[in-house]
Amino acid sequence: MFGKFKLSCEMNFRNFPLDVQYCPMYVESWRIRTTEQDLIWDPDNPIGLLSDYKIDQFSLHVVVLKINKVKYDTGSFARIGFMLVFSRKLPFYLLQIYFPTVLFVIISWLTFFIPPPYAQGRIILTITTLLALTALNSIISKHSPSASYLRGIDVWMQGCFLFVFVAIVDCLVDIRLLFVVSQSYKQENPSFLLPVSVALVENREVFDDLFGAEGDTDADDGPDATPSVYCDAPEPGPSMADIPQLRAAESGPLQVPPAPGGDVSERLEQRAIKFEKVSIVVYPIMFVLFNMCYWSYYLNASKPPTGVTHEITGGFIPEPKVMHDFSST
């Protein structure tokens, strides 16, 4: 008997793109019982494939299933079958999906090495990485098989999103801690404004407006004196003779007595540094653990249908015979 048959197979994309599709096919006697007819495989060449048969995305393997006898009310009938195993080729997906996303996560991890005072630049870099990852996810969703359930590629992309988001949160925590430290420093050390006062004194126009120019002291002593456009100093400020001392104070370290809350600022700063060091170590370790769990699960998750497991065990894997297409002749 010779014929052409168009067969369909249900696909399961839960493990995409690390999926393996199993398509069992059966040939069964329709009316003749096993007492009159039996079906067996040719032991030498049970399966033949066309010489020009190729699939770009899959590697095809054929498994000959165990010969069974199916019992109905009308009798027992012989049945033979085979299974087409389609293993998806991974190099394309490794280069186009997994490798770029790993690079994005590594870039977000490298931002931890940027000093905390430059956290604004870090957060710009991590947000840019997140946007690039979002664009790549849109392209993947557009060109991959659609399914209503969670696929393997979805788990991978969401995991990478989570790691980049953690890097952004780490930047925000650093910015917040530095902000609290700077605010505490301003409250505890008001003399940090001293260099600004020196700059104002050196400005002759501001100095004359604050303290009066030489020869104009009588005009400013009256009750109708015009108020300064900058400010009215209730007390006399530093004189020109004091500028060298102020200049020395500006160039040298400020001698500020320790404030009561200085320990709090120091603790916050030390906490920020410690948090940064812990993140540099924990972040890559967690990503490596995520990779170990992901690859160990999805590389072994694709299994044949439960109903044909025993048939595969009793079957064999033949070497397909190369056939020529005789339909065109």
Contacts by 49-56 with C-beta closer than 8 Å and gap 24+? 49/320, 49/321, 49/322, 49/323, 50/322, 50/323, 50/324, 50/325, 51/322, 51/323, 51/324, 51/325, 52/325, 55/86, 56/89
Domain ranges of the chain: 20-89+304-321, 92-189+264-298, 196-255
Q: Which residues of 17-42 are buried (b: 16+ CB within 10 A; e: fewer)?
A: bbbbbbbbeeeebeeeebeeeebebe
Q: Say yes or no to pLDDT of 16 above 60.
A: yes
Confirm if 245 and 223 have CB atoms less than 8 A apart. Answer: no
Calculate the dihedral angle through the C-alpha atoms of 12, 16, 18, 21, rounding to the nearest 10 degrees.
20
Confidence bin at 312 (pLDDT 50/70/90)? confident
Interval 265-302: pLDDT, tens:
666 667 777 877 888 999 999 999 999 999 999 998 88
3-state helix, strand, coil in the chain (%, to 5): 50, 15, 35
User: Average of pLDDT values for 166-183?
Assistant: 80
CATH of region 20-89+304-321: 2.70.170.10
305 — phi, psi (to 5°)? -55, 145
| Bridge-based pairing state of the strands 48-50 and 68-72 | unpaired
User: Average of pLDDT values for 175-194?
Assistant: 63
pLDDT of residue 197: 44
User: Average of pLDDT values for 213-223?
Assistant: 51
CATH fold of 92-189+264-298: Methane Monooxygenase Hydroxylase; Chain G, domain 1 (1.20.58)
Tell me the two tokens of residue 181.
């430290």
Interval 98-152: pLDDT, tens:
999 999 999 999 998 888 777 778 888 999 999 999 999 999 999 899 889 999 9
pLDDT of residue 50: 72
Q: Say yes or no to pLDDT of 204 above 60.
A: no
Q: Say yes or no to pLDDT of 319 above 70.
A: no
Rounded Cα gap, residues 163 and 111, in angstroms: 12
Neighbours of 94 (CB within 10 A): 12
Nearest to residue 177, comparing CAs of 104, 58, 281, 269? 269
* CA angle centred on 161, ends 158 and 167, rounded to 5°: 145
